[in-house]
Every structure is written in structure tokens, then in C-alpha cells.
Amino acid sequence: MSNEKDEIYLHAEKIDKIYPGTKALDQVSFDIKRGKVNVLIGENGAGKSTLMRIIAGIEKPSAGKLYLQGKEVEFDSTVDARSHGIAIIHQELCLFPNMTVFQNLFMSSERTKNGFLDDAEHRKLAKQVLARLNYPIDPDTMVGALRVGQQQMIEIARNLLIPNLKILIMDEPTSSLSEQEVDVLFNIMRELTATGISIVYISHRLEELMRIGDFVTIFRDGKLVADAAVKDIDVPWIVKQMVGEGKSYPKRDEAVDWEKTEKVLEIKDLTLPKNGGGYLLNKVSFDLHRGEVLGIYGLLGAGRTEIFECIMGMRPTHTGDVILNGEKITIGSVPEQISKGFAWLPEDRQRDGLIQTMNIDKNIALSNVGKYINGLGLIDKSRESAATDEMIKDVHIKVADKELPILSLSGGNQQKVVFAKGALTNPQIMLLDEPSRGIDIGAKTEIFNLIYQYAKKGVSLLVVSSELEEIIAIADRIIVLSNGIKTAELTGSDITQDNLVKASYMGHKH
């Protein structure tokens, strides 16, 4: 637990945030300590960004209170939060690429002289702040012409200009910075904390938070699960807290000797270069047997989703061999991959999985509707409808009328619709990316049962999950990715939380 001597600058008391269908934050009480680097960590959707958006005045909590130096406060907008000295640097940059560096720095806090913009003053102040950042860029450079890392520094500089800055929230500021730039940033952060400014730092890079953090707070599933002073802990402790060990699911236990079953898919040396150097995937090889559930585990950014994107033809720059049923194949477009027998359930259901303007029936049939045409080229509605009816029954979608809009379903049932869309194409291999994301516990179990049901039918499934308990329960075999490298392949009794956790940060060299 934290040291009592540290002054608490901001205190969030029992914050709830409820979105339709999900609870993003559940009774979270959180302290920001004055003059310290407060690190937040957790998987995507754990609730850390939501909490920061509340503190920065972007969103309002459904319940709970904020106290600034012991006084209750309520922020109606970012402007409101800024006037209290709270600033946020978003993961996605909020800059104007069509304007110059100094114009960006002083956007909406322009200095004027006789009612006109005082650009001489702007340039002078811009030079000062950039010098302070050790970043001598000409203030007249267009922001669009800068590299992403440089733009990140502009974003930071912009927040340093806020008069009486008290809390600076940084959401993954280093994701696009080079090593040197990270060093500069860390120096700035130390300089800021020395002057009494509190920093909230969100990052997925565990080695970084060990270097810069003073306090660490870990989020999981909308709850604050642990906090500690960084000097008291180590990386394995953090990973263990992140992935949790509370709930457990019945372990899938198939008495099958997978070595003796038929190999359906073989991936050899799958490599995907990253823009600007390095690799998203580095020589990843694995195989998949008929009726097997192969888990892919890894922390965020380990390359989990990228494997699926390569297989589905979304990443033409990849290299390596894909062998399907003993034959080497070339990866084509998405429709070609579907016709080869792949089906993909993407991670972000709303963005990539559903057509919100269409009804349930059409969403299910979308990938396969070309199969239900008669001699005139028209859709044979009775065949199409029979197929979707059967699918609805097969995957247990609870719906009274399949002509209802897709958004009238709960998250779990929406997910089953996406699953049904893939399953209807009669795939031999299903790629499931975080199939239980954003759905309640009951629906999760149903999704797992669906996975077993399809494995039993002879479909081979690749399942990405960032929840340890979940992947241990459902997978026959698990490969672990870390920083784009396959660091472990576990079967049988080797599948333990410790082994998975250990392998999940082995790819990081620091």
C-alpha cells in the first residue's frame, strides 16, 4: 500500500460509469499523488481511459465524486477541467496538421495585441517551450510535415503552456516515440514532477513504468484491482494483477492425442514489418489440427490480432508460408480467404463486425448470401431464411423476430450474430479475436460452449484472448506472443498461469 506521507492531490470516490450494455467503471476509488508519476495499467477496455476521461472533464461519471485537494469538484467540460489545471494528452493526437507548430501550440489560447494575433509573441513563447523540451523545431514548420514522434512532442509542449498546470494525464504517449525521444520525455516528466505537477501515465510497456513510475494502479474489467508503490513490486507481480486469477471456467479436457490428428493449417515464419522499422510479427510459426482449439495469448501489442489480419489478407506486406491441408496457399483478398474456408470474428464488434443499418437476418447472411440464389440471380428467400433460422438455433441467439434491427440485441447476442455470420460460410478454420470482449459472464460461457460445439464438429479454432483464466479453460494448446515473437508453446499440464505470464514479457529485452 502507498506511503501515507504522500499528499493526495486529486481523489476520485467510488466512480461508476455505465454505458448501454456495459459497466465501464465499477466503484473505482483512485488517488493522484502530488508531484508523482501515477501509472495506470490494464488491458484494453479495463476502464483506465474512461476514468481519465472523467477526470479530464470529457465524460461525466454515472455515480461518484471527485475531490481536488479535499474539495468536491465537478467538471462540465475539458475547458472546466483545464481551468483547474488538469490537462490530458490523448493517445490519438489532437493536432491540426494543416497549421504551423506555433498555431497548434496556441490554439484557443491565442495571445493578441490590439485585437490582432500577436504572432511574434507566439513564436517567442513557442521557441521557449520547445527549448525546454530540448526540441528545437522551427515554430513555423507545418505540423503535418513532422514525424509522429515529433507531433507527440508538440502535443506535450502544448499542454506545458497551460498556466498553472497541476495534473497532466498522458495516455500512451510513448507508443510512437523513438528511444531517444522517450528519454527526453522521461527527463521532462521528472522535471515536471519536481515542480509539484502530478502526472498520470498510461502505458502498456511494463519496462517503462518500472523506470519512470512512482505508483502503479492496475485495472481489470472496470475495477481497480491493485495499487502499490513501484519500488515494492516487480514485473511478474504486475502481470499477475493485470490478468487476475479470480473467476475460473471449467477446463476443456479432450482426451485426444493431437499429434495423431490431421494438420489443417501450418504457419511458417510469419513476419510482418512495422512501419518505420522493427517487426509486428517476427518469424512466428505454429500449426493447427482438426477440431483443435489453439489459444493465442499475449499482452496488448504482442501481435495477436496481426496474425489474423495476415491470414485474412488484410496485411499484404507479410512474408512467410501458409500451408492449408498440406498445400501451400497464397493469401488473397478477404472474399478469397473466406472461400478457402477461413472465418474471422474481429475484435471490435461495432466497428468491424456488424452492419448497424441492417437487421439480424441480413447480418447473419451477409458473408454467404451469394449461395442462396435461384436461376434468375435473385435471393431464394426461403432457403436464405431457413439457413439463418438454423444458424440462430445452432448458436442460440435469443431473439423473437430476426427482422429486428441488430442494435436491439444485447452485446452477447450481437456477438453470436457475428459468430453466426462466420459459421454460416461453413469454415474449416475460425479465427476468433477476443470473442468474449464486452459481454457479460453468462454470455461468455455460452460463447465458450459454442467454441467447443464447433470444435467437436471438426472446425479448427484459433482463439485470441487476453484473459488468462479464459484462455486456460478453453484452449487445448496455447502459443504465447510477446513483442511479435512466439515465446512459448504450451500443452497439457504446462498450461499454467505462471508459464503464460512469464512468456508474455519474454520478448521485451529491457
Given the complex with other proteins, which of 367 and 465 has the nearer CB atom?
Answer: 367
**Closest approach of Cβ 378 to other proteins, in Å?**
4
**Closest approach of Cβ 16 to other proteins, in Å?**
18
DSSP string for 329-342: E----HHHHHHTTE
Given the complex with other proteins, which of 43 and 309 has the nearer CB atom?
Answer: 309
DSSP string for 455-498: HHTT-EEEEE-S-HHHHHHH-SEEEEEETTEEEEEEEGGG--HH
**b/e per residue, 204-231, with b = 16+ CB within 10 A?**
bbbebbbebbbbbbbbbbbbbebbbbbe
**Closest approach of Cβ 92 to other proteins, in Å?**
17
Contact between residue 64 and residue 71 where contact means Cβ atoms under 8 Å apart = no
Residues that bind other proteins (CB under 8 A): 20-21, 312, 314, 333-335, 338-339, 344, 346, 351-358, 362, 365-367, 369-370, 373, 377-379, 381, 398, 404-405, 407-410, 413, 421, 425
Helix (H) or strand (E) holding 413: helix 411-423
Residues constituting the chain = 510
CA angle 96, 191, 177 (to 5 degrees): 45
Given the complex with other proteins, which of 13 and 26 has the nearer CB atom?
Answer: 26
Given the complex with other proteins, which of 131 and 373 has the nearer CB atom?
Answer: 373
Which residues lie below 8 Å from residue 459, measured CB to CB, with a gap of 6+? 291, 427, 428, 429, 430
* Encoded amino acid at 488, one letter: A
**Closest approach of Cβ 440 to other proteins, in Å?**
9
Q: Phi-psi category of 458—alpha, beta or left, where left has phi over 0 and alpha has psi -120 to 50?
A: left
**Closest approach of Cβ 44 to other proteins, in Å?**
18
**Closest approach of Cβ 356 to other proteins, in Å?**
6
Given the complex with other proteins, which of 196 and 335 has the nearer CB atom?
Answer: 335
**Closest approach of Cβ 484 to other proteins, in Å?**
23
Given the complex with other proteins, which of 285 and 359 has the nearer CB atom?
Answer: 359
* Encoded amino acid at 121, one letter: E
Cβ-based burial of 401 (10 A; exposed 0-12, middle 13-18, buried ≥19):
exposed
**Closest approach of Cβ 366 to other proteins, in Å?**
5
Given the complex with other proteins, which of 213 and 353 has the nearer CB atom?
Answer: 353
* Encoded amino acid at 472, one letter: I
Given the complex with other proteins, which of 291 and 353 has the nearer CB atom?
Answer: 353
